[in-house]
Every structure is written in structure tokens, then in C-alpha cells.
Amino acid sequence: MTAQRRIRLWTRVVEVADGGRVTLGTVCTALIEAAGVDGAWASVLLPANLRETVYASDAVAERLSDLALTLGEGPGVDASGGTPALAADLLDIDSQARWPVFAPAAVQVGARALFALPLQVGTIQVGVLDLYRAAPGSLDDDQLADALLLADTACAILLDAGGMDIGSASRPHLDAHHPEVHQATGMLIVQLRVTASVALVRLRAYAYAHDLPLRDVARSVVARRLRFSPDPDIGDGGLQ
């Protein structure tokens, strides 16, 4: 079911990239169009609860991002806890009660609807993607599905740090619907003595380097056919 949506969205991302690298900006441009929103910004979560805006599509998005950082409230702040925060109208009672300072300020800046999607994989909190609309209104099912899938792509890009080449065999898919990927991430935390985030990046890097689907690599780890070594001299994938 998802395949068609994925292919359509990825095709659009590649078109937007126009022969260049697929970056967070490319993905956000495609997302703004697909979700029918007016703009977007992305922030990453740093240690000690700090946040940093790494992308803003326009001046309004930039100002909204500043507001959230300054006021310490808003959908994006809530979403960094791991649950999306969807506000179809910042002037309705729910939004005003939830973000008493941020909601009116955001309306002043030019946003009436805000949708904050956590960029996360289980315990790995990469950041938050915020979408805004100048007019009130929910994302319909299709827009939401497109937004969630492209947010997964944005998450993969941020996780792997930086843009990727179009020509590369791997596509920045998160493959979050395969439990083996998460089980393997957990196993790598112990094998490599690293955080979950580093474990997942190493797993993904191995898949790219060997031109294998992430799921197959994860399965080999779970089946204990593949072990990762914390010693960089030995490299990954030493069979033991």
C-alpha cells in the first residue's frame, strides 16, 4: 500500500533536487507542496534540552522557530517529547489553553495552523519538523500520510548527517516498520557500547557500504550471523 506513495514522493524529491544532492531543504520543499502547507522548519535536539533550527523555508518559518525557542512552548516543543502536536487552528480553545503565550504570538507572526512531527526512531530523538499554514485547517489523510513519510525521510537525512547523492544506491528511507531494524539497533548498542543513535547510524552505514537492504543487515545481526566490532581497525561485519 505504501509503495506507491513512497515512489511518488521520492520521485518528487528527486525532481526538486534537480540533479543536485537530496538535502533536508529538498525534502522539506517536496513536503510543503505535498502537505499543502505554507512553510516548514526543522530543529534538531542537542544535549541538555537545547534545540537548534537547521532549516527554515521562509521568513515566517524562521520567526516561528525563534518564537518557540524564546518562549519554550508550542507544538514543536511538545513534539520533542515524542508525540506529534497537531493544531488545526491556533485560535481555538484547545490551542490557546495548551500554548497560552506561543499560540497568539504565532498568529501575529502569520500562522494559523501548526503541525509538529517528531523526527524519532524509538528512543532516538533526532529533532522536530514543524509545518505551518497561514489559514486554519487540518491536514487531510493524504496530506498527513505524505507529511509523515517525508518526515521519516528528513529524519533519516538528519540521522545520517547531511545530504546524500542522488546517484547513490541507497535511498534515505527509515524502514521503521521492520522490527528487526530496531532489535538490531539494540544489539549494536551492546556490541559497540554506543548510543542507540550511533548504533542505528552504524547499521545504516553498513547497509550502504555493502549495498544491502537495511532489513537484511538487521536480520543477520538478529540471527547472530553478523557482529559489529567496537574496534575501528577490525571494522564492521567480522564474523565470529
Residue closer to other proteins, measured from CB, 144 or 205: 144
* Interatomic CA distance for residues 23 and 53, integer angstroms: 15
Told to check if 17 binds other proteins by CB under 8 A, we report no
Told to check if 144 binds other proteins by CB under 8 A, we report yes
Min separation Cβ 144 and other proteins, Å: 6
Told to check if 94 binds other proteins by CB under 8 A, we report yes
Min separation Cβ 186 and other proteins, Å: 2
Told to check if 86 binds other proteins by CB under 8 A, we report yes
Stretch 183-202 residues interacting with other proteins (CB under 8 A): 183-191, 195-196
DSSP 3-state of 134: coil
What does residue 198 show for φ and ψ, rounded to 5 degrees?
-65, -40
Min separation Cβ 59 and other proteins, Å: 27
Among 30, 3, 22, 21, residue whose Cα is nearest residue 150: 30
Told to check if 96 binds other proteins by CB under 8 A, we report no
Report DSSP letters for 11-57, one per residue: HHHHHHHTTS-B-HHHHHHHHHHHHT-SEEEEEEEETTTEEEEEEES
- In the β-sheet with 39-46, what is the strand arrangement from edge to edge? 50-56, 39-46, 124-133, 113-121, 85-87
* Interatomic CA distance for residues 107 and 134, integer angstroms: 8
Told to check if 11 binds other proteins by CB under 8 A, we report no
* Interatomic CA distance for residues 51 and 80, integer angstroms: 9
Told to check if 2 binds other proteins by CB under 8 A, we report yes
Min separation Cβ 19 and other proteins, Å: 28
Of the candidates 58, 66, 84, 98, which one interacts with other proteins according to CB under 8 A? Answer: 84
DSSP 3-state of 201: helix
Residue closer to other proteins, measured from CB, 58 or 216: 216
Told to check if 173 binds other proteins by CB under 8 A, we report no
Binding site for other proteins (CB under 8 A): 1-2, 5, 82-88, 94, 118, 120-123, 138, 141, 144-145, 148-149, 152, 176-179, 182-191, 195-196, 222
